[in-house]
Structure 1
Amino acid sequence: MTTSVVIATYHADRVPDLLATIDSLARQTSPAHEVIVAVDGNPDLASTLSRDLPDVTVVENIHHAGAGGARNSGASVASGDLVAFIDDDAVAAVDWIAQIEKAMTDARAIGVGGLIEPLWLDHPPRWFPTEFGWVIGCSHRGLPETRTAVRNVWAGNMAMRRDRFQAVGGFRADFGKQADRSEPEETDLCIRAGRRWPDLIWVYDPRVRVLHRVPRARGRVGYFLRRCLYEGRGKAALAAHVGARDALTEEKAYVRHVLPRGMVDGARELVSGGDLYGLMRTCAIVAGCITAFVGYVPTRVRGQVQRRLRPYRGRRLG
């Protein structure tokens, strides 16, 4: 079994992080079949990387703008049995590829994803609830601690059989993360693949592990709330594509079980130890949930109204 690794990137400022990502791939106990860097909307950067990284395949994004299009472009030139994706600001554990290939020996597996641990570049804010790790592009509290079949995995740490990735069409062209859009393109991909091959599974395995750099700016309250708002909007957009049932199954369980436990833990820390940050984490959970809801509802309603009006557009009255 061979694994091609695709890294999407877009800006010269991220080159130091990108080089650290590539270096982590060079140190794998099971080497990558090839490393492909897909550059989104920056021909000068692509040219520079092609010149400076002779052992890496560099391609420009020839698909839709954004990380999803770049990943599709990288996957289109891959030749490994598996295509794996890692972010350009993440570092792979030394056995990352080995654990991916081990998980994919299960013939039922469409693909695999794993643990994304935060690597804070400053001290992690004590008010930040670990239940909201997804805000900073990382895994959140409440995920399985052992290998488990799941609805979806996350594009910052995932792999898929290359032939199935191509068969399902890769990441959706009109959907994804760009500017102020935070549409969960990997969830959409996983749901589409799950529908196409209903007897197969997506696997979450925490032993498939990467570290994701988290800059200081992502530890601010404003960033936290903004990302929650965008997440709500993105989930509404996903529901419009795949239906609310598939789009929100995991999220409903998260809101019903994971978040209440976090709130209780925060309150307990305040009462038993006088930890005011426990109260702040509880408040952050409530605020984040409400903000995501505020993002979801108007976007969902607007989309439903637009779909209902679509048959009447262009018709003459009278």
Structure 2
Amino acid sequence: MSDPGTPPGPGTPPGPGPAPALGVSVVVCVYTEDRWTDILAAVSSVRAQSYPALETLLVVDHNPALKDRLAREYKEDADVRVLANTGPRGLSAGRNTGIAAARGEIVAFLDDDAVAERDWLRHFAEGYADPRVMAVGGRTVPVWASGRRPDWFPEEFDWVVGCTYKGLPPGRVRVRNVLGGNASFRRAAFDAAGGFATGIGRDGDRRPLGCEETELCIRLTRARPDAVLLIDDRAVIHHRVPKAREHFAYFRARAYAEGLSKALVARSVGADKGLESERRYTTRVLPAGVARGLRDALLARPGGVGRAGAIVAGVCAAAGGYVVGSLRARRGGTAFSVPSIARAEAADE
């Protein structure tokens, strides 16, 4: 659970203002032809922005066939570049490839199975009117493949499917970290802190690890103590949730993997920073969710007991993953690296 958390210090978030004239490069990391239709929809949503993107970078994760197909699809479009991930397999290295190739002063990230609302980039750009702002994230809404949220699936755990979850503060607020699938960073943030750590995040369809954006944001605020990180819930994307992720088995596996990831983050930045927001989440947000589920059960509303049980099971799974991840870290069984990011022209078609 990459909890953005509460404001990391005194002061109020910068107020809304006109969008500054900043070039925004949008990076979409892709890895499988199974998401072909989703990828095209994601690019179309970027093209339709009221605040036009400078460019869209499609970074392909070690899949030459997909790279060639995308290069043919967009060969007549000068605003879309197709790149090969120049690092190790995985989402973090793909993002770093996009960052290195980006021409914009702002680098935004959009998941390959999501579509952005028309004013997505405009709300991001407005946040950078204050030069202290180093990152702006948005709100991610689930689009369930079955057409509706499963009755047992608690909104408090929407992070399991990569979406904004119940318990986050509304509006434009200062946070510890943004959420990677719907986020933007000032280019200077990567100059100061380096790129996304490899060895933490996702690697295709393998175990669904995460937290790479949490680790980066904590590292950023250490390198730039004056940095302000925001979430603006008007910057909305709609994220497709496939049927395979609507089942409890995935829910449990993702929660366990999050615990593994949190152990890596705590190893990197210390438990105080790595878990400060999670403590608030587990001591305030989740107990309230369990209480709501039990209340709904008493009122004979569908799924009340299931939601309460899923919250408890999710906490147990994440805690188990954290314990295992911590033990592995002590034995030296896990490692990750933080690359520096130099502006470079990645090879493209």
Shorter-normalised TM-score: what interval?
Answer: over 0.9
**Residues 1:234 and 2:261 aligned together:** yes
Structure 2: tracts of 5 or more residues without a match: 1-21, 334-349
1:315 corresponds to: none
Match of 1:38 among 33, 37, 59: 59
Alignment of 1:137-148 (within 5 A): 137-148=162-173
Aligned alpha-carbon RMSD (Å): 1.3
1:300 corresponds to: 326
2:282 corresponds to: 255
> Highest Rg: 1 or 2?
1
* 1:66–1:177 contact (8 Å) kept in structure 2: yes
Cα deviation for residue 292 of structure 1 reads 0.8
Q: Secondary structure at 2:221's aligned position in 1? A: helix
2:141 corresponds to: 117
Cα deviation for residue 75 of structure 1 reads 1.4
Cα deviation for residue 278 of structure 1 reads 0.8
**Residues 1:150 and 2:175 aligned together:** yes
Cα deviation for residue 280 of structure 1 reads 1.1
C-alpha distance in 1, partners of 2:300/2:65? Answer: 54
Q: Secondary structure at 1:65's aligned position in 2? A: coil
2:115 corresponds to: 91
- TM, length-normalised to structure 1: 0.93
C-alpha distance in 1, partners of 2:329/2:69? Answer: 42
1:105 corresponds to: 129
C-alpha distance in 2, partners of 1:181/1:18? Answer: 20
Cα deviation for residue 199 of structure 1 reads 1.1
C-alpha distance in 2, partners of 1:94/1:285? Answer: 34
Q: Secondary structure at 2:83's aligned position in 1? A: strand
* 2:252–2:317 contact (8 Å) kept in structure 1: yes
2:44 corresponds to: 23
Structure 1: tracts of 5 or more residues without a match: 308-318
C-alpha distance in 2, partners of 1:221/1:132? Answer: 12
2:230 corresponds to: 203
Identity %: 42
1:314 corresponds to: none
Cα deviation for residue 125 of structure 1 reads 0.5
* 1:117–1:210 contact (8 Å) kept in structure 2: yes
* 1:152–1:202 contact (8 Å) kept in structure 2: yes
Q: Secondary structure at 1:182's aligned position in 2? A: coil
2:10 corresponds to: none
- Once the two structures are superposed, residues 234-270 of structure 1 have per-residue CA deviations (whole angstroms, 9 ceiling, x without a partner) of 1111111111111100100000110011011111112
Letter in 2 for 1:48: R
- TM, length-normalised to structure 2: 0.85
C-alpha distance in 1, partners of 2:208/2:34? Answer: 21
Higher RCO, Cα 8 Å, sep 6+: 2
Give 1 or 2: higher helix fraction: 1
* 1:177–1:184 contact (8 Å) kept in structure 2: no
1:134 corresponds to: 159
Letter in 1 for 2:311: I
- Once the two structures are superposed, residues 130-152 of structure 1 have per-residue CA deviations (whole angstroms, 9 ceiling, x without a partner) of 00001011111001101111111
Q: Secondary structure at 2:168's aligned position in 1? A: coil
Cα deviation for residue 181 of structure 1 reads 5.1
C-alpha distance in 2, partners of 1:51/1:161? Answer: 31
My pick for the range that moved more, 169-178 or 36-45, is 169-178
Cα deviation for residue 305 of structure 1 reads 4.4
- Once the two structures are superposed, residues 33-74 of structure 1 have per-residue CA deviations (whole angstroms, 9 ceiling, x without a partner) of 101100001122112211211321011000121111111111
1:52 corresponds to: 73
2:9 corresponds to: none
